[in-house]
């Protein structure tokens, strides 16, 4: 019975990729408390389903820290581990966006009700900067972790 309860409450996660480095590296294992048992908050690491149709095209991203450029393809029906940087009602400035958008500075994004804005920790992350806000029903759980490194400020609020 205890095992059944644990399975109902928890997800086992194996990180695929380096978009959450240095906090979670490729192959890292973690536990996540399933939603609706966990509250999704700004700054939380979450496990979710990639929005439908997000794997249909290649994107070119520039790392804002190193100015390095990389081409990525998001993948179909994939899962992700990302940090919540915007909750419903927030205004956020995406850390990175595809290079082919013709805009020099990142836009301000209003996070609609029932969605979350998520980002990876590196500039080479396929996340809400590409997909837009993720529907709440795509968030599967909140990761239980205590990163060793100091966490960067998870939100970049913008004055209204």
Active site (catalytic) residues = 19, 82
Tokens of 57: 């095209």
- Interatomic CA distance for residues 121 and 152, integer angstroms: 9
Structure tokens at 33: 């408390």
Question: Across-strand partners of 29?
Answer: 14
Structure tokens at 128: 């809400």
Closest CA relative to residue 121, chosen from 43, 60, 67: 43
Q: How far apart are CA 117 and CA 112, in angstroms?
A: 9
Residue in 37, 73, 62, 54 with CA at minimum distance from that of residue 118: 54
Token pair belonging to 94: 């995406």
Look at residues 31, 36, 35, 34 and name the one whose alpha carbon lies nearest to residue 15: 31
């Amino acid at each position: 019975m205890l095992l059944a309860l644990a399975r109902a409450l928890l997800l086992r996660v194996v990180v695929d990729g380096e978009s959450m480095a240095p906090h979670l590296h490729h192959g890292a294992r973690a536990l996540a408390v399933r939603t609706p048992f966990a509250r999704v908050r700004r700054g939380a690491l979450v496990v979710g389903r990639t929005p439908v149709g997000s794997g249909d095209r290649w994107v070119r991203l520039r790392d804002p820290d190193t100015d390095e450029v990389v081409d990525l393809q998001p993948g179909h029906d994939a899962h992700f581990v990302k940090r919540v940087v915007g909750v419903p009602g927030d205004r956020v400035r995406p850390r990175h966006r595809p290079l082919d958008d013709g805009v020099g500075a990142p836009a301000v994004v209003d996070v609609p009700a029932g969605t979350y804005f998520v980002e990876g920790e590196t500039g080479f992350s396929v996340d809400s900067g590409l997909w837009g806000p993720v529907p709440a029903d795509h968030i599967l759980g909140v990761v239980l972790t205590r990163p060793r490194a100091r966490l960067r400020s998870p939100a970049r609020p913008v004055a209204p």
